[in-house]
Amino acid sequence: MPWRECTTMNERVRFVILASEGYRDFSVLCEEFGISRKTGYKWMNRYCREHSLNDLADQSRAPHSSPRRTDPDIEARVVALRREYGWGARKLQVLLKREGKSLAEPTLNRIIKRNGLLRRADVKGHATTRFERDVPNDLWQIDFKGFLRLPGTDISCFPLAIEDDHSRYLVGLFALPSIEAGPTRAAIRSVFEAHGLPRETLTDHGTPFYSTTNAHGLTTVSVEIMNQDIGMVHGAVSHPQTQGKLERLNRTLQEEIYFRGKPRTIEACQVLFDVFRETYNHVRPHESLDMDVPISRYVASQRPYQSPPPAWRYDDRTTERQLNTQGCLDYAGQRLFVCEALAHQTVGVLELNRRLIVQYRDMLIREIALDTHHGKAIRL
C-alpha cells in the first residue's frame, strides 16, 4: 500500500530517532542506513536546531535573494491592473507599455501566479491521453455529481458514483440526502461489502474526501478507507480531467435524468439510479470499450471487507494509544489535540526530547511540545 512504502523522509526520521537514543555507534548507524557520516550529521544538525521533525525536510535550493526580480513598485502596478481588469499577461503588457514599463509575458505570468491571482480559467493542462489501470479493482474513482433539486420541494439529492477505472463498471450509484460523512461512509461500506476492496481510490479535494483543517487532508471518510489498507489518491486541484471517466459518467447520468424526468423523492431517485446502473453496466455500449459493456471486463475483488478493520502494527519503540471522541490524546496527565478526523483511532506515540511524536499508520501526524502543550503538524 502507498503509505507502507518507506519514503526518504521516513528514513531520516528513523535515523534521527535511533541516533538520539544513542544505543548504536554513529558510524555503524550511518552504515546501516547507507549514508555517509557527513549526511548523518547534516540530518542530526537540522533536527537539533529546533528538535522538530519538520526541519528534516529538503531545504529549498532557491537563492535567498534574487537581484533580477522585478522592482516591487512595478510588481505592485501589475497586481493592481490585474485586480482592476482581470486581464491576462498579453493585455497587461500593452497597458504597462503605455506607461513606459516593459515586461516580458513570462515575467507577467510569474507575477500573477506569485500573488495568487490565477483564475480557474487560467489553469491549463488538459489531459491529452487516455489512461486506465490494467486490471479491475486496481483503482476506483469516487465522486459526487452536482446536486439535484427535487421538483416541488426544497429537498436536494446528491448522487454518489463509484466506478472501476479499468472496466468502467459502475460498482455503486447512490441517491444521498447530503454530502455529509455519515451517509457517504455507509454507501462506500456497502460497496466494499458487495464487491470487495480496491487497491486504491481516486477522489477530488472536496468534501467529504479531503479536509483543509489538517495538514494531511484527513477526514473520517478517508480514514475509514485507509483502515481497510486501501491507498487514497487525490486528483489535481482544478483539473477534473484526472477523474475524466466519472466526469463522462456524470454527463451520461444527467442526460438520463433529463430523458426520464426528475424524480420527486430521494427514494424515487434511488430507483432511477438502480435502473441506470443496470443499463450502464450490462446494456449500454461503451465507445471506450470498443462498444462492449463494462460487465464484460469486470470481476469482483478477492480482497474482502473486514469489520473491524485489521489493526496496524506499530514499531516496538512506539506506544499505542486510542484518541477520544475529539481526536485528543491523554498522555502523562495532559489532554493533547492530535487530529479531529482520527477520533477513536489508535495511534502510535513516541517521546523524544520532550516532544511527543504522534503517528497514524505510516503517517507522521503531529509533534507536541510536552512543556507548552503546543503542537504542530508534521509536514514531511
pLDDT tens for each residue of the chain, 380 residues long? 333 344 666 788 889 988 988 878 999 999 999 999 999 999 899 888 878 888 887 766 666 566 667 888 899 999 888 887 778 888 899 889 989 898 998 899 889 888 878 764 454 444 444 468 899 999 999 999 878 888 888 889 999 999 999 999 999 999 999 999 999 999 999 999 999 999 999 998 889 999 988 888 999 999 999 999 999 988 765 444 455 677 788 888 888 887 888 899 999 999 999 999 999 999 988 888 888 999 999 999 999 999 999 999 998 889 999 999 999 999 999 999 999 999 999 999 999 989 999 999 989 999 999 999 999 988 76
Nearest to 103 by CA among 77, 84, 67: 77
Report the pLDDT value the prediction gives residue 8, as an integer from 0 to 100: 66
Contacts 24+ apart (CB under 8 A), 53-60: 53/13, 53/16, 53/357, 53/364, 53/367, 53/378, 53/380, 54/367, 54/376, 54/378, 54/379, 54/380, 56/9, 56/12, 56/13, 56/16, 56/380, 57/9, 57/379, 57/380
- Across-strand partners of 142? 162
State how far the Cα of 204 lies from the Cα of 233, in Å rounded to an integer: 8
Q: What is the pLDDT of residue 63?
A: 64
Report pLDDT for 147: 81
pLDDT reported for residue 175: 96
Which three cell numbers, joined as nine digits, stand for 55? 526541519
147, 140 in Cβ contact below 8 A?
no
**Its pTM surpasses 0.75:** no
- Residue 318, CA atoms < 13 Å, CB-side half-sphere: 20
